[in-house]
Chains A and B, each alone.
Chain A
């Protein structure tokens, strides 16, 4: 075996990304290399980079495993005889077993002798290996094949033996990545005494004045300062408050940086204190880790894809970045990080700029999968179907390279829409390309549960639509039934008339336009070029209805409500100039349909950041046959409304409740249109709404509680807006999502 390198994680080098080079010494060819590979997999890739802050920011790191072949198995060893005087190194003697290895590192297993010693050319061998295999290394981890204990860090080079596990590596990375100090005390070996000057590092101090504490913003005003006194203290200032968390709550505790007294740390426990029984960083170390990786990991909140990914009842979303995607789960009114995947998705998908994700339940198990498409980063376009594990892990189930049979090559402007067009309980894809070919093309990609099969392609036309054109806009809507998706197609530019079509898949699996409206929908008063379509079941009958809005084309803006009759729309209400309570519609009003109250009626979340001096956001709450509006100006709680804001609807968390099969039977016997009215008492105070039309197991009902969660987001900020009452803010995050026990990172 020749020396080689394996890229374990590739996040690119086009920004501020860092590179971790992992080298092995004392690993011979053959099974030793498997041992080395497994060590790296278990202790670094899983042990470190699946752990809390390391995982959250894993997109900051390229990880290269350098596979160096040693002539013999096992590193050189040296045994020191301390002569009973450990602190006096001058009288120590040794015996050793020096063997040729890739880096010639000597493992001695002796704290007093720094655990490791270098051979005469070790430094050069390390540098040569890094220069050849990982020249962009920012941090170097060297795994030494030895049965002796040992770990030694010098600036950005950490050596450990195979006896050392992930917990120690995490702790040492805390030093090396974020310049964190130890938070533990010591006596005898390695102890310090009588600190006199304020240390420079962010997580230790000699300061006991609350107002001058480096980390005062994270300390609850009710927490005594100091919180723990005495040698290597824990919480001593009275009884710990109920709910106190030794790792997540900040205070001031004596004993840190190997000083037993006089030096203070922020938390009872932390990964920088007890690496063997602490499983996360205290809030101060966590924040410093995050700050150190913020630029490199490239995280923004610009793009979020909501869904129920790890459980059929969970409200979650993926935050999408160029080289990493992160799953977050609703936790009451807040969000919590579940898992970040960086670089490559096993199976394999390399995350790159231009990846576009959509979510859908493509296998019908109640949990959503992801579909990702990248038309132009690689030498050909790629489409992938990604399964999300219950732990948030990702796996590519199917990948289509350049084409899916029957489509005739992916192209730059292929767009993918999600809907269960054949009503088989599995979401399908509709692929649409209006511009890249001599004629528009549309095709249905039916889900097989583990991939897609193109069932029909429509070249230039869908029967009944009368010819597709470049400005056809497709919207997925459940006009006929909640269990089957239809398409609404709008074209206001390519014909002398303006058209709206309703397209449905027939029994033979073919799409056809079953309804075509030309220039008008009865009750609307004529289509116009800037009409905008919004889809939502505003009367809770299980069928999607239609909102039509026009801002600029008439003397006043108009908003119309049209209910679905299954294959047609009937006018319900037309608002001219204003929806009562909104204060006047304007040209640039923007809308997102959402279940604002959690009553199953889809209303409109509305905002306007262009037509007025202040910025406005508000609600247009559906009563079933009309809208009631209200608004806020410039601020929703702490969220400052601005033109960079985007709004994305995440479904509420659901509850799965078990009822007697007989009761379930009676529910099933009701018409779908009545389900929304069947309130179920939850916890004596909440009324749930049945939201899952396909009740898979007799005795189990999926009940929704609460309104949709309106996610407001831009590059650096993410918030959750509560829409059940006049708009309020449930949670707000800056740069990263973390629920500090007290204080926050801005």
Chain B
């Protein structure tokens, strides 16, 4: 009904109010005609016998120590390919790769001055910030009271980093390849792992299109990178997979 067609309220007078329909009702008095019944479940609660119990004892409210959980999902979204990397100079090599029950590292935001990204062309599969890569930092010496003490910085000739690549991303790459042309199927996509250093502290969104370096080309320089890695060597094509970490 359009507003113009609606009527005005007819407000009752005080005398009429006293004769209004509001009234005390005896318990159980029925209302008017129900509107058409809607479908309802057939379920009926059991009789409320327990309701007669007044206050439950402590035992009655005692509960199991843990909430019962649904079966943990083991979907590709909850799994990742865990890569242990060795960084030496400008070179990144893979020490081992395992499928683990943990999601990959592709956060909405990475912040800092050093970043590691695993990419396929311009597509980021995993990204994370690194903190002082290549340096070990010892805490100040609290026992030396002669001097104002500082951290001890130790430059490492090599160091290890772990990154988790979401399994779902790898599976979709493999699927795309298998659905491709024969030439595409023959060619194994190659992943690249890169460590980037920023000129200043940055906030980056790995889920945006383009690699981190492409997003901020003038602010990021590559300081270490892997050789292009055929995906077959990391993650199986045609159903071959790396071993599970708990196998």
Contact = CB atoms under 8 A, between A and B. Distances in A.
A436 B149 contact: no
A111 B141 contact: yes
A576 B9 CA distance: 9
A132 B245 contact: yes
B48 A496 contact: no
Contact of B24 (A130, A443, A514): A514
A188 B34 contact: no
Interface in B171-220: 198-201, 203
Interface stretch (A49-57, A289-297, A670-678): A289-297
Interface in B139-177: 139-144, 146-154, 156, 159-162, 164
The secondary structure that dominates the A interface is loop
A495 interface: yes
Nearest to A292: B111
Contacts of B123: none
A631 interface: no
A47 interface: no
Contacts of B66: 348
Interface stretch (A333-341, A465-473, A695-703): A465-473
A438 B40 contact: yes
Given A155-B159, A574-B11, A258 B151 contact: yes
B170 to A, nearest CB: 16
A200 B201 contact: yes
Interface stretch (A304-312, A451-459, A653-661, A680-688): A451-459
B44 A156 contact: no
Nearest to A202: B201
Given A438-B40, A495-B32, A200 B140 contact: no
B107 A155 contact: no
A496 B138 CA distance: 79
Interface in A358-395: 377-380, 382
Given A179-B111, A408-B45, A517 B199 contact: no
B240 interface: no
A399 to B, nearest CB: 5
A200 B22 contact: no
B103 A13 contact: yes
B130 interface: yes
A190 B45 contact: no
Nearest to B141: A111
Nearest to B71: A379
Contacts of B113: 179, 200-201
B24 A151 contact: no
A27 interface: no
Contacts of A178: 111
B160 to A, nearest CB: 7
Contact of A151 (B82, B139, B144, B146): B139
Interface in A514-564: 514-526, 552-556, 558
- The residue in B63, B129, B153 that gathers the most chain A C-beta atoms within 10 A of its C-beta is B63
Contacts of B44: 437-439
A291 to B, nearest CB: 6
A526 B10 contact: yes
A190 B142 CA distance: 12
A155 B161 contact: yes
A550 B12 CA distance: 17
A189 interface: yes
A322 interface: no
B67 A555 contact: no
Contact of B22 (A446, A461, A518): A518
A463 interface: yes
- The residue in A154, A517, A553 that gathers the most chain B C-beta atoms within 10 A of its C-beta is A154
Contact of A467 (B25, B30, B38, B200): B30
B135 A200 contact: no
B198 A466 contact: no
A438 B17 CA distance: 38
Contacts of A407: 45, 51
B21 A189 contact: no
A115 interface: yes
B7 interface: yes
A461 B30 CA distance: 10
A348 B65 contact: yes
A41 interface: no
Contacts of B203: 291
A212 to B, nearest CB: 12
Contacts of B98: 131
A517 B21 contact: yes
Interface string A57-74: 000000000000000000
Given A150-B139, A189-B147, A378-B67, A451 B27 contact: no
Given A152-B139, A189-B147, A496-B34, A555 B245 contact: no
A523 B35 contact: no
B25 A112 contact: no
A512 interface: yes
Interface in B112-138: 112-113, 128-133, 135-138
Interface in A639-657: none
A568 interface: yes
A496 B147 contact: no
Contacts of A518: 21-22, 31-32
Given A453-B53, A515-B24, A127 B139 contact: no
Contact of B27 (A152, A184, A512, A521): A512
A81 interface: no
A448 B56 CA distance: 9
A436 B45 CA distance: 10
Interface stretch (A97-105, A168-176, A599-607): A168-176
Contacts of A260: 148
Contacts of B107: 16, 295-296
A513 B31 CA distance: 13
Contacts of A401: 63-64, 67-68
Nearest to A127: B84
A331 interface: no
B202 to A, nearest CB: 9
A408 B48 contact: yes
Contacts of A453: 53-56
B50 A406 contact: yes
A497 interface: yes
B162 to A, nearest CB: 7
A251 to B, nearest CB: 20
Interface in A460-510: 461, 463-464, 466-467, 469-470, 493-497, 499
Contacts of B139: 115, 150-152, 160, 164, 168, 172
A156 B6 CA distance: 69
Contacts of B12: 520, 522-523, 525
Contact of A187 (B7, B30, B136, B147): B147
Given A200-B113, A523-B17, A456 B51 contact: yes
A295 B205 CA distance: 11
A700 B132 CA distance: 59
B2 to A, nearest CB: 10
Contacts of A136: 80, 100-103, 164
Interface in A180-206: 182, 184-192, 198, 200-202
15 contacts: A149-B141, A179-B113, A182-B150, A182-B151, A189-B152, A291-B203, A401-B68, A408-B46, A454-B50, A470-B40, A495-B35, A497-B31, A499-B31, A515-B22, A522-B16
Interface of A: 13-14, 16, 19, 111-112, 114-115, 123, 127, 130-132, 135-138, 149-156, 160, 164, 168, 172, 175-176, 178-179, 182, 184-192, 198, 200-202, 232, 258, 260, 288, 291-292, 294-296, 348-350, 377-380, 382, 398-401, 405-409, 435-439, 441, 443, 446, 448, 451, 453-457, 459, 461, 463-464, 466-467, 469-470, 493-497, 499, 512-526, 552-556, 558, 568, 571, 574, 576
Q: What 6 pairs between A and B have smallest CB-CB spacing? A: A190-B150, A136-B102, A186-B150, A525-B9, A151-B139, A408-B45
Given A135-B164, A398-B63, 7 more contacts: A175-B137, A184-B150, A201-B201, A405-B56, A406-B48, A439-B44, A454-B53
